[in-house]
Chains A and B, each alone.
Chain A
């Protein structure tokens, strides 16, 4: 039983990382209808930026981490202004391929720094543990869950209670009408990309103590994409939920199921979930309400 709870908590923590990356997908997809294939690369860049600020410039971690998130947000905004904006009005594939290419360029620019391409790094976060009775939690896992909760609450407040947040929502729901009402749709696109990039960077920094910082750490986005689909691709809470679901199922399957089956189960469940809730878990309530 203890092993079960132990593995469950790890699953929740890793699931939160999947969920955060899924969230960054959805933020961008909802606002701009672009499926971004560079979230994994933005995540990696975020972690490396934090590392560089900490190791090279000597900034303390509490300063380096927010600075890295900010830097990646600016990078996301810049990419939107310089490149992605030009894909609006083109077929969907153009934007998708553009993000794919930009992702490769990000990866290539990090790889061109020999020290980054060859080594794996750890952020100077102590590998502490937290004991709750017999249950032992890694401090890094606790951090992941706490930051995810705080970030989710902050995003919810932003979208509900701030003017900018509501305008962004309006533009996401119906860009045409929002433009007719005089809302700055183009600027909201830039904001959506900045937010999406920032959330990916947060995920990267949270993943850093778990898997260390290296060039391939962005591959975790491959897991986040199904999580976003599971959440319905347009629901922010759905994306988070989808991520946690995938993380927990993956972890428990590894503990309880025989070799060979465990890797299939998360995806089989994903298919079942999509069959039952074609609009995704997040849209389940709305779909039922409209019936």
Chain B
């Protein structure tokens, strides 16, 4: 038999055998639950990936220290895809086939999530709470996919509408990153203004990685805006606000949840005082923390030798949702049973001051509500409750 024929035979045999294994069969070991995550620990959003992973590790370690979930220890299998969909596909396959991951949690970045979600769902694994503000992560309804964060559209529509109504702004403008993120925010802001029969007076964009915002700010100022919505990330938020203050323009600004970070006021200092932001989860400030939160911050510091931030809280919260749902599911843990349990769970506010997460059989998006916060004296202070 020639090499080629032998190879083809081997290939077809393995394909036939592979097809014989029913999709969706996850053999759960008696003593372990593997939770996979395709993270970004080295790429452009490593500043989210690392604290999210650490937050999850912390919560899973706590569960394991308490004897695990119905006698099973939880092991977090982390793969770094560096925001690259090609690497993410390999990582997801490895986690599915080799690590036999029971569920995927907090996969990081929209391109990564879009590339890996079909692989994960086809293998019959749970796809939980990815870091992608994309509707495809919870619609159309799929029994195994759940999301915890709404698209920017929802948060920004509510926040802009509330702020414009409360403060009576007449000329709302937008500075946006010219990609999907910026456009999504633009739609939300436009929808909010339409509801108030107002228009977006001026909009101007920048490219990711832009260094200078003088032209954008000059343009917005020429349009006599009284509220500038920022579809920016931390660095651009600071740069835009600093540029406005530099030329003596004391306009109010509102930034998306991407700019809600302790880094914003750490880098911006006096220039970002008074900035409004949308907060989906609160930043864990050590100063003025409750006893429980202070103890949590201390444990985090001791474990990772770093200050926890809003992303650490997110990782911890997501892992907590997983642990509590797995406990509620009972000893006979399957993806389907876990999903049914999650649909009936009601998560009450925790030590961080998170919103309420609620899923149902018809709705796999756990939360749609952010709240408004403002930088006062160098820290974010919530100024409204979670907005409807």
The interface of chain A, by Cβ under 8 A from chain B, is 3, 6-7, 10-11, 13-14, 17, 108, 111, 114-115, 117-122, 127, 129, 136, 138, 207, 210-212, 214-216, 219-220, 247, 250-255, 259, 262-263
With a cutoff of 8 Å between Cβ atoms, the chain B residues found around residue A7 in the complex are: 214-215, 218
CB pair B42–A212 under 8 Å, yes or no, is no
Known: A120-B267, A127-B242, A136-B246. A6 touches B211 (CB 8 A): no
| Interface residue tally for chain B (C-beta within 8 Å) | 37
B378 part of interface (Cβ distance < 8 Å): no
Identify the closest chain A residue to B209 (Cβ): A219
With a cutoff of 8 Å between Cβ atoms, the chain B residues found around residue A122 in the complex are: 267
With a cutoff of 8 Å between Cβ atoms, the chain B residues found around residue A214 in the complex are: 235
Q: State which residues 195-252 of B face A: CB under 8 Å.
A: 203-207, 209, 211-212, 214-216, 218-219, 221-222, 234-235, 238-239, 242, 246-248
CB pair A254–B215 under 8 Å, yes or no, is yes
B323 part of interface (Cβ distance < 8 Å): no
Chain B nearest Cβ from A139, distance in angstroms? 10
Roughly how many angstroms separate A17 CA and B207 CA in the complex, as a whole number? Answer: 18
CB pair A115–B306 under 8 Å, yes or no, is yes
CB pair B215–A251 under 8 Å, yes or no, is yes
B47 part of interface (Cβ distance < 8 Å): yes
Consensus secondary structure, chain B interface: helix
Roughly how many angstroms separate A247 CA and B178 CA in the complex, as a whole number? Answer: 19
Roughly how many angstroms separate A136 CA and B217 CA in the complex, as a whole number? Answer: 14
CB pair B207–A14 under 8 Å, yes or no, is no
Select A119's contact among B47, B204, B206, B215, beta carbons within 8 Å. B47
CB pair B212–A210 under 8 Å, yes or no, is yes
Identify the closest chain B residue to A252 (Cβ): B215
Known: A255-B219, A259-B203. A211 touches B269 (CB 8 A): no
With a cutoff of 8 Å between Cβ atoms, the chain B residues found around residue A255 in the complex are: 215, 218-219
Identify the closest chain A residue to B41 (Cβ): A117
Known: A3-B221, A127-B271, A259-B204. A212 touches B306 (CB 8 A): no
Select A263's contact among B44, B207, B234, beta carbons within 8 Å. B207
CB pair A216–B44 under 8 Å, yes or no, is yes
CB pair B212–A11 under 8 Å, yes or no, is yes
Interface-centre pick from B42, B209, B212, B216 (highest chain A CB count, 10 A): B212
With a cutoff of 8 Å between Cβ atoms, the chain A residues found around residue B42 in the complex are: 108, 111, 117
Roughly how many angstroms separate A255 CA and B215 CA in the complex, as a whole number? Answer: 5
Select A254's contact among B219, B263, B267, beta carbons within 8 Å. B219
B46 part of interface (Cβ distance < 8 Å): yes
Known: A3-B222, A7-B218, A214-B235. A14 touches B46 (CB 8 A): no
Told that A114-B50, A254-B206 touch, could you supply 9 new A-B pairs with CB distance under 8 A?
A: A10-B214, A117-B47, A120-B235, A127-B242, A127-B269, A127-B271, A214-B235, A250-B212, A263-B207
CB pair A119–B212 under 8 Å, yes or no, is no
B130 part of interface (Cβ distance < 8 Å): no
- 19 A-B residue pairs with CB within 8 Å: A10-B212, A111-B46, A117-B42, A117-B46, A119-B263, A120-B234, A120-B263, A127-B270, A138-B246, A207-B211, A211-B211, A215-B46, A219-B209, A254-B204, A254-B219, A255-B218, A255-B219, A259-B203, A263-B207
B51 part of interface (Cβ distance < 8 Å): yes
Known: A3-B221, A136-B247. A118 touches B46 (CB 8 A): yes
Roughly how many angstroms separate A247 CA and B47 CA in the complex, as a whole number? Answer: 29
CB pair A3–B235 under 8 Å, yes or no, is no
Known: A3-B218, A3-B222, A259-B205. A251 touches B46 (CB 8 A): no
With a cutoff of 8 Å between Cβ atoms, the chain B residues found around residue A11 in the complex are: 212, 214-215
Roughly how many angstroms separate A120 CA and B236 CA in the complex, as a whole number? Answer: 12
Q: State which residues 242-301 of B face A: CB under 8 Å.
A: 242, 246-248, 263, 267, 269-271
Select B211's contact among A120, A215, A220, beta carbons within 8 Å. A220
With a cutoff of 8 Å between Cβ atoms, the chain B residues found around residue A219 in the complex are: 209
Chain B nearest Cβ from A9, distance in angstroms? 8
With a cutoff of 8 Å between Cβ atoms, the chain B residues found around residue A136 in the complex are: 246-248
Roughly how many angstroms separate A89 CA and B101 CA in the complex, as a whole number? Answer: 51
CB pair B50–A118 under 8 Å, yes or no, is yes
Q: Which 3 A-B pairs have the closest CB atoms?
A: A254-B215, A10-B214, A255-B215
Roughly how many angstroms separate A236 CA and B200 CA in the complex, as a whole number? Answer: 46
With a cutoff of 8 Å between Cβ atoms, the chain A residues found around residue B44 in the complex are: 216
